[in-house]
Amino acid sequence: MRSLTLANRWDAGQIALHVLLILLVVLSLYPMFFTLITSVKDIHQFYHSYFSITYPFHWGNYGEAWDAIGGYVINTLVVAAAAVVIIVAFAALSAYAFARFSFFGKEVLFMALLALIMIPDMITLVPTFLLLRDLGLLDSLVSLVAVYVSSGQVVSIFILRQFFASIPTELVDAARIDGASETQVLTRVVLPLSKSILLTVAIMNVLMIWNDYIWPLVTLSNSRLWTISLGLVGFSERFAGMAAWGPLFAGYVIASIPLIAFISISMRSFISDLTSGALKA
Amino acid sequence: MATGRINRAAYLFILPTFAALIGLKYYPAASAVYHSFFQWDGATVGRFVGLANYVQLFRDEIIHVSAINIVKFIIGRVALNLVFPLLAAKLVFHVRHQGAAYLYRVLLTAPIVVPVMVILLLWKFIYHPYDGLLNQLLEAVGLGAWRRAWLGDFETALYAVIGLGFPWVTGIGSAGFAFLIYLGGLQSIPREIFDAAAVDGAVSLRRFFRVELPMIASQLKLILILTVINTMESYVPVMVMTGGGPGVSSMVPGLYLYESAFLYDKFGYASAIGVVMTIILLIVTTISQRSIKSYSEAEP
């Protein structure tokens, strides 16, 4: 009897949990749902059926939006790909050295890295801009990549160092006994074991770059070089000014697709890295 | 001999990183500190003015407004970031059906992949005075009298920017990870602790405060520190949504730094703002790290 009522109470509790969670999911995802249904509306459908799905779908909105922001998407893909490869390569080398080697000045250099966490972009913004300007490197995607490489290093090194340090020494020593050089140990033994964490680091940096607005704003005045965050603001003002809500929302979908595609491919390992406590204070 | 070889390799391994960091982090940071003592328009070396930039900074009305705004911002963001993702994580953690729990986790994490700028512009639309979702919704449920230009109103502009992202389970950008980090923390609590708590007859709410909360103290600490740091540094949401307006009613220090440098060519003054912000950031982080540590140690 008692266990029965207990079970019932549990079920009531479970039902309440599900109701609350479904509510949270619906509220969290509603803006995205609204974006999708609005992205295929013409102006008439937008004003007359604001909340509902309308037919026919106006796929032309996507063409219009792509003409306006396609270039920004491509620029961002190029910058992100170049920067992420360089970030991960540099960070893996440093992380390996800090995890596995003993060398003079190691602690001091590591503290110097640690200190950078406390140096916000805010303080480096102005001098970096002036440095690039004086070197004649403004309005170049190469400078933007260089800025991201420096910004992505510290956190990437911390995460990779922690992982590299956890690889059993026996594996590394075995390779060394077989006559492998340090570089071979890294590329043949350590990196293949680290695929998932390398992917996680890559995702974090792709997110950082795709979402950055300030560096392209201060370094790129030529709109042909603009990346997506910067390009979207101008695009949004122009289309909102014309009440062209359909193409505007189609543009938001287009701006999101590459990021969504990249991350959903690799999300599973990313989430398990995060939840397994790879990141802890 | 073997160690000698390893030593040399180590320097080669860290060389690319430090070359990038010296050019684009250490040098600019040092340059900012140095130039904060100059009246500097970025063109010439500038005139040494000692602490004048700092003195001016403490008298600047706009700095006062920005300082108060950023404090409100931090309090608001910490409250939202600490409470709502934790609430959601706790709910998901207690779902017994594993498939459903996984689905909730994926759905509540999904908004992370939407670019931050898209979310900001989406919320700018939601607050739009005529066509925006919020006013349309108020109209639809018969509360049309409550409609207003949320981002253009002195009373609401700042709070509208702080409150974007309702229902705040998945934060914007890096704050989006709070939910996953809490969930990871809850899932890593050893089973035996729950069993012991059940034997002791700990009921749900008490169990939450006595068992679960202390066990995820390190995750809470991480989220707290990250939120404080990120919020202090963040000005892009304000920049994009209100431009600091109307007037300077939603101005924050980062945006004022940007405007001082890139709109008014006051690079020395902007550097001084950056230096003060960095110092405050250092102090706040140190204090928050200490106080939370002592709190979790005080708990039995």
- The CATH number of residue B125's host domain is 1.10.3720.10
Q: Identify the residue with better confidence: B77 or B40.
A: B77
* Mean pLDDT across B189-198: 76
Lowest mean pLDDT of A233-247, B60-74, B192-206, name the range: B192-206
Phi, psi of B47 (to 5 degrees): -110, 130
Interface contact flag, A127 B275, Cβ < 8 Å: no
* Mean pLDDT across A182-211: 87
The pLDDT tens digits of the residues spanning A32-87 come to 999 999 999 999 899 988 898 998 999 999 999 999 999 999 999 999 999 999 99
Do the Cβ atoms of A249 and B131 come closer than 8 Å?
A: no
Residue B107 CB-half CA count within 13 A: 19
Say yes or no to pLDDT of B289 above 80: no
Pairing between β-strand B38-39 and β-strand B47-48 as defined by DSSP bridges:
antiparallel
Interface contact flag, B184 A32, Cβ < 8 Å: no
List all residues 6 or more positions away from A203 whose beta carbon is below 8 Å from its beta carbon.
A262, A263, A266, A270
Domain-located, residue B26: no
* Mean pLDDT across B69-86: 92
Domain-located, residue B147: yes
* Mean pLDDT across A94-100: 91
pLDDT band per the 50, 70, 90 thresholds, residue B299: very low
Do the Cβ atoms of A109 and A175 come closer than 8 Å?
A: no
Chain B, 7 to 46: residues with Cβ < 8 Å from chain A are: 7, 9-11, 13-14, 16-18, 20-21, 23-29, 31-32, 35, 42
- Residue B102 lies in domain: 60-298
Say yes or no to pLDDT of B298 above 60: no
Do the Cβ atoms of B16 and A90 come closer than 8 Å?
A: yes
Residue B135 contacts A where some CB pair is shorter than 8 Å: no
Task: Match domain A60-278 to its CATH number in 3.40.309.10, 3.40.50.1980, 1.10.3720.10, 3.40.50.2300.
Answer: 1.10.3720.10
User: Measured between alpha carbons, how far is B125 from B197 in angstroms, rounded to an integer?
Assistant: 48
Say yes or no to pLDDT of B209 above 60: yes
CA distance, residue B194 to nearest chain A CA (Å): 16
pLDDT band per the 50, 70, 90 thresholds, residue A232: very high
The pLDDT tens digits of the residues spanning B214-237 come to 888 888 888 888 888 889 888 999
Q: CB-based burial of residue A246 (10 Å sphere; 0-12 exposed, 13-18 middle, 19+ buried)?
A: buried
User: Measured between alpha carbons, how far is B119 from B137 in angstroms, rounded to an integer?
Assistant: 19
List all residues 6 or more positions away from A218 whose beta carbon is below 8 Å from its beta carbon.
A125, A129, B262
User: Measured between alpha carbons, how far is B38 from A127 in angstroms, rounded to an integer?
Assistant: 13
The pLDDT assigned to A273 comes to 59
Say yes or no to pLDDT of A151 above 50: yes
For residue B290 the two structure tokens come to 């200490």
Do the Cβ atoms of A265 and B175 come closer than 8 Å?
A: no
The pLDDT assigned to B296 comes to 52
Residue B105 contacts A where some CB pair is shorter than 8 Å: yes
Domain-located, residue B32: no
Q: Concatenate the DSSP letters of all residues of B30-91 into one string.
A: HHHHHHTTEE--SSS--EE-TTHHHHHHHH-HHHHHHHHHHHHHHHHHHHHHHHHHHHHHHH
Q: CB-based burial of residue B162 (10 Å sphere; 0-12 exposed, 13-18 middle, 19+ buried)?
A: buried
Looking at the partner chain, which of B116, B128, B277 has a beta carbon nearest the beta carbon of A120? B277
Looking at the partner chain, which of A102, A123, A276 has a beta carbon nearest the beta carbon of B32? A123
Q: Give the best-scoring range by mean pLDDT among A94-108, A136-150, B274-288.
A: A136-150
The pLDDT tens digits of the residues spanning B109-139 come to 888 889 999 999 999 999 999 889 999 999 9
Give the total number of structural domains in chain B: 1
Say yes or no to pLDDT of B40 above 90: no
Domain-located, residue B223: yes
The pLDDT assigned to B39 comes to 87
CA distance, residue A65 to nearest chain B CA (Å): 14
The pLDDT tens digits of the residues spanning A236-246 come to 999 988 889 99
Do the Cβ atoms of B19 and A93 come closer than 8 Å?
A: no
- Cis-peptide into A168, omega within 30 deg: no
For residue B300 the two structure tokens come to 């039995």
Interface contact flag, A233 B117, Cβ < 8 Å: yes
Looking at the partner chain, which of B20, B167, B278 has a beta carbon nearest the beta carbon of A119? B278
The pLDDT assigned to A245 comes to 93
Q: Give the best-scoring range by mean pLDDT among A271-280, B168-177, B271-280.
A: B271-280
Residue A93 contacts B where some CB pair is shorter than 8 Å: yes
Do the Cβ atoms of B188 and B244 come closer than 8 Å?
A: no
**Complex ipTM tops 0.85:** yes
Residue numbers in B near A98 (CB within 8 A): 14
Domain-located, residue B35: no
The pLDDT assigned to B203 comes to 60
Nearest residue to A251 (alpha-carbon basis) of A239, A262, A242 = A239
Say yes or no to pLDDT of A274 above 70: no
Say yes or no to pLDDT of A2 above 50: no
Do the Cβ atoms of A197 and A278 come closer than 8 Å?
A: yes
The pLDDT assigned to B264 comes to 92
Interface contact flag, B177 A274, Cβ < 8 Å: yes
Say yes or no to pLDDT of B300 above 60: no
* Mean pLDDT across A200-219: 92
Cα distances from B97 to residues A13, A18, A212, A272, B103, in angstroms, run: 13, 10, 38, 19, 10
Looking at the partner chain, which of B14, B140, B236 has a beta carbon nearest the beta carbon of A214? B236
* Mean pLDDT across B242-262: 93
* Mean pLDDT across A210-217: 94
Residue A21 contacts B where some CB pair is shorter than 8 Å: yes
Interface contact flag, B107 A29, Cβ < 8 Å: yes
For residue B72 the two structure tokens come to 């409100």
So where are chain A's domains? Answer: 2-27, 60-278
Residue B184 contacts A where some CB pair is shorter than 8 Å: yes
pLDDT band per the 50, 70, 90 thresholds, residue B4: very low
Q: Identify the residue with better confidence: B75 or A171.
A: B75
Interface contact flag, A271 B105, Cβ < 8 Å: yes
Which neighbouring-strand residues pair with B22? none
